[in-house]
Structure 1
Amino acid sequence: MTLEHFSDRLKATRKSKNLTQADLAHKLNIVTGTVSSYEQGLKYPSIEVLVNICQVLEISADFLLGVSDNFSLKMGGLTEEQEQPFLQILSIVEQYNILKETNNK
């Protein structure tokens, strides 16, 4: 597990729910800059905020933290076939970040 999974998956999931950073921040009772920091990997939420993020976005913490590739608890009624493009996009983003990190070393 890398914390990059968290940033990428948070952003991708937020966007898949058609939420802005401000929308998510409002639902979590935090400031927009905090959501931005999470998505940039500059800081990470407390356990309490992580639980709230999972509830608001209807996803599992395991997915958000990169422990599992099981996308979510609820995908808004999408079938497994409809979920696949989201999973493929996330996989591509994760691979890109791994390559980027490797090249920066």
Structure 2
Amino acid sequence: MLSDMIKNLRENAGFSQSQLAKKLDVTRSSVNAWEMGLSTPTTHYIVELAKLFHVSTDYILGLDKTRTIILDGYTEEQIELLYKLINYFDKQK
């Protein structure tokens, strides 16, 4: 469900509703309404959420269960470090 996805992404990123609202230039009550399922973010805000959380819009909408991390904007060094972390955690399974 979209409302649960927004809340989970926000909490996993360590943002309060107020912090997320500020990043998106909306009110805290808008974020709360999205998370409570009382309203739905516009397409514009779904795209902005995807960019902010580095996931696809399909993931946010629940159309794709695989979490894809968008690496645009990261340096090659940062990407290499991310891959090393992923490999490290895979070995811990």
Report the counterpart of residue 59 of structure 1 in structure 2.
Answer: 55
Matched, 1:48 2:55: no
Which residue identity lines up with residue 34 of structure 2 in the other structure? Y
Task: Check conservation: 2:2, 2:61, Cα contact below 8 A.
Answer: yes
2:5 matched residue in structure 1:
9
List alignment gaps of at least 5 residues for structure 1.
84-105
Q: Which runs of 4+ in 1 moved over 3 A?
A: 80-83
Q: How many residues align?
A: 79
Between structure 1 and structure 2, the one with the greater Rg is 2
Q: Secondary structure at the match of 1:55?
A: helix
Shift, 1:40, TM fit: 0.6
1:82 Cα deviation after fit: 5.2
**Equivalent residues in 2 for 1:18-33 (5 A)?**
18-33=14-29
Closer/same/farther in 2, CA of residues 32 and 67 from structure 1, 3 Å limit: same
Percent sequence identity is 26
Structure 2 gaps, min length 5: 72-81
C-alpha distance in 2 between matches for 1:37 and 1:81: 38
TM-score (norm 1): 0.65
- Higher RCO (CA-CA < 8 Å; seq separation 6+): 1
Which whole-Å deviations, capped at 9, do the CAs of 1:51-91 have from their partners, x for residues lacking one? 1111112111111111011223249x3628859xxxxxxxx
